[in-house]
Structure 1
Amino acid sequence: MKLVATCAAAALLCLLAGCASAPPVPAPPITADFDPAAMIAAIDQAGVAESRELVVRPLSNGNIAGLKEDLGDLRAPDRLAENARQLDLALDTHPDDAELLQARAENAILQRDLVTAERMARRAAAVGAQAGPHCRRHWETVVQVLLARAPDGDALAEAEARRDACTVAAPPRY
């Protein structure tokens, strides 16, 4: 009888252990020289079109334009949390809008949430333009996040290569 009770107790413990959730994965550490404003400046610079470059602009959604007008300055320090909530709500209805995803990534950088920033920038890169300033902007966001985390060289090199591949010469005009 003791053997049955011991086996039942062991089975119950195994079952309960299987129900336990894993502890949350801690966010990677941020380097000491983390500067959100400098990161945003680098992202803005990456989004400047070069002369004789192919520029691919995503189709704009009128609802998104209205939302951005309502939000005003997306980088206003006193509205970062509220803007994040509004952008998240907009992403619930427009999850594949690269412009919204990029805005949310930049908002996350300013809030020092690099995990969200990288996730949103990678999603924007996946669904957005694959060439031009918008593409470069998404990948520069990933590069900046990786630099802020002191990444391994392979991840950084891949993100930089993808960013650089976004620059495509415009077709010749005759």
Structure 2
Amino acid sequence: MPRATLDLQNSADLSAIGGQWRCAHGFVPGEPNEGIVSEADGSPCRLPDFDDSGWEVCDDLGAWRRQGVSFIWYRITAKLPETVGGRSLDGARCLFESCIDDYGEIWINGECDRERATVQGFNVPQRVVVTTEPKAGDEVTIAILAMNGPLAAPGGAVFVRYATLAFEWRETGR
């Protein structure tokens, strides 16, 4: 299966999608106690129309951002390009692939694939379908909720090991 990727930590690939990562600390950044309360209804940061314009620009997803028990949101809006790896997007599917240290949830356009995009384990790579029919010019909002762990005795800090948009073309005529 032909495949091409855009490295969402590479400035040229970010430029190709017109994207810029932003990040903020907390389950609900800016709220008292970082929005961590009993029986929370969720975080609005997962929604595609959430305003993250006041958040820090993240030029390096691999940078350690917070030690101890912590939650950090990373967000980007990507405009799908005309071509990837010299190929049109026609006949491809688009996936987001990442490994979040230590745990992470992935929200695509405000939706979370409950089988693949929720916490999978300690530093487990995640691969989530963005769309099965990508079109040039489509906008995709990716929101990652990263958590340091293990939660009962966290070590290290929060960071994203890698983040890519992968395009895979189905073979035809077989």
Which protein has the bigger strand share?
Answer: 2
Shorter-normalised TM range: under 0.3
Larger Rg: 1
Which protein has the bigger helix share?
Answer: 1
Higher RCO (C-alpha under 8 Å, 6+ residues apart):
2
